[in-house]
Structure 1
């Protein structure tokens, strides 16, 4: 007895190709038909009938108005910056009765990939991702499988994907310019690896401020790459700064957690802040203003960042949306006695 050949089940991409529309449009026809013109909607529905396309269970639940889920992957949810971003995501999703699945990649591409597979298996309708590396080819494949993607805290390098980010070049420039204005001519920068976009952009901003001040970056900047962007990493980094032959008089930290560790190390080594070492952080998380010596920091609109990313994801559509917020320097006592 011969075995019948099993026909491949039509995918959402097959429907999009036959109807000559994007995958996002097919998703809108299934999930938010009021957002699609009647002519286009009829064309998509015709393709669905011709291909005998059967939406998966999550799509049926979405049309029925029951469970709706989005995923979010950040670098480290223990970092208060990402906690605030996640709250913005949650607040926006809740308005449309969505739930959120949240995960930390720990800057590990393999861990990020595992969570993306897990989210897809659980039928998420879209994901917001802080990419662990510059390579986003794996994210480009998701819309073809009916999963919306918004890059979070990173400007999209491709026209196909939406993104919400902060201008980190401007942020690095603000921090360095402030320290230069305070009279510092040699600055330490406790940074992350440059394959992290934020670290590379903040470095670019710092260097541009130093050059604009007429200084040589090779002489005016001591950059230390931290393996971990947390308080322990910051404390180890500041010890390297203190041991430098031509010791800087100011330190800019890639985030507030590393700044917290740096100030902890300075206190242990009995180096007064800011008279012997000025310190500037980045993010302006809640604790920054509450430290014994309040921390000068580059403020990012964390809640708005997450809220807007979720808003773009829920809107869908055929055209990518890219939003860039501007940072703001908040001056406190850690960098100037005049704060």
Structure 2
């Protein structure tokens, strides 16, 4: 069975069937539904590679992320997937684990397979414009456009770090640690810079962020952090904060009475922790939706590369408190 049989069963032209398969957004929803029913009825299975050879775009979009096990990236990809599904696309997701060599290999495979486009949280953004110039649209995710000739979706992470720092300073904290990564993803580095701008000198503590060890590494860092005697810790994300809280509990350190803790992301579990986690909220699902929308816009006439920038916000819960003046003098 082929496209002609589908067209006959649906009462439409062959070109309409082709559009439903490759560009359903330009076809009336009722017609799309009629064609899809006809496809099921006649048992037609589109030949993806053959359609691409005839100049029709693949329905597959690649998402290259840092770590799919991280709930932040899972929620972002949910936003991407939901928006792409509306356009008849399928999302293929993969993780780099912060390893540039892995990222390069995945990008090469996706490009060779002729995917419709790539949405990426890059470890190394330098190679991406060349992929775009060769014909595969690329959208940066959680990364500013800067001088790159690409579309981008980003959060003002410098502001996010500053919000955390200003919150702690307002509560009397002056000796503040930042729990970051041994190899900084760009967003983590920007959060550290924002925190430092707000509070001045910080105690820099770094842990291995390569999965699946982040939570365990953060827990193991608890003893080292306590020895440095900060009054508050800002963590690179909520997953690290959760691990740190576990490590502090094992040491008998009370949060926030002995040490205030701030996370980043505002993942669903943050409000359910004991104590509930003060954190910097990102519009996670909306990040994914915006990235997918920019990728789909690449196919429209007159498209120009642009950046969508989101603002973070501080969510104050019970893991932070005012500093005890006796601790500062005693």
* TM-score normalised over the length of structure 1: 0.76
Q: 2: CA distance between counterparts of 1:301 and 1:61?
A: 39
The answer for the alignment partner of 1:110 in structure 2 is 101
Q: Deviations over 1:129-187 (max 9, x none)?
A: 10113xx2221111222100000000022241110010000000001111111111101
Matches within 5 A, 1:287-298: 287-298=269-280
Matches within 5 A, 1:186-225: 186-193=175-182, 195-211=184-200, 217=201, 221-225=202-206
CA 1:58/1:204 → structure 2, altered by over 3 Å: closer, same or farther?
A: farther
Matches within 5 A, 1:1-339: 57=50, 59-60=52-53, 63=56, 68-133=59-124, 136-193=125-182, 195-211=184-200, 217=201, 221-228=202-209, 230-244=214-228, 247-316=229-298, 318-336=303-321
CA 1:182/1:271 → structure 2, altered by over 3 Å: closer, same or farther?
A: same
Conserved in 2, the CA contact under 8 Å of 1:150 and 1:312?
A: yes
- How many residue pairs match? The answer is 274
Structure 1 gap ranges (5+): 1-30, 36-55, 212-216
Q: 2: CA distance between counterparts of 1:138 and 1:223?
A: 30
CA 1:312/1:90 → structure 2, altered by over 3 Å: closer, same or farther?
A: same
Moved over 3 A (4+): 56-64
RMSD value, Cα = 2.3
Conserved in 1, the CA contact under 8 Å of 2:179 and 2:207?
A: yes
Q: 1: CA distance between counterparts of 2:55 and 2:243?
A: 45
Shift of 1:199: 1.7
The answer for the alignment partner of 1:11 in structure 2 is none
Conserved in 1, the CA contact under 8 Å of 2:278 and 2:315?
A: yes
Shift of 1:207: 1.0
CA 1:78/1:314 → structure 2, altered by over 3 Å: closer, same or farther?
A: same
CA 1:61/1:329 → structure 2, altered by over 3 Å: closer, same or farther?
A: farther
Q: 1: CA distance between counterparts of 2:173 and 2:54?
A: 59
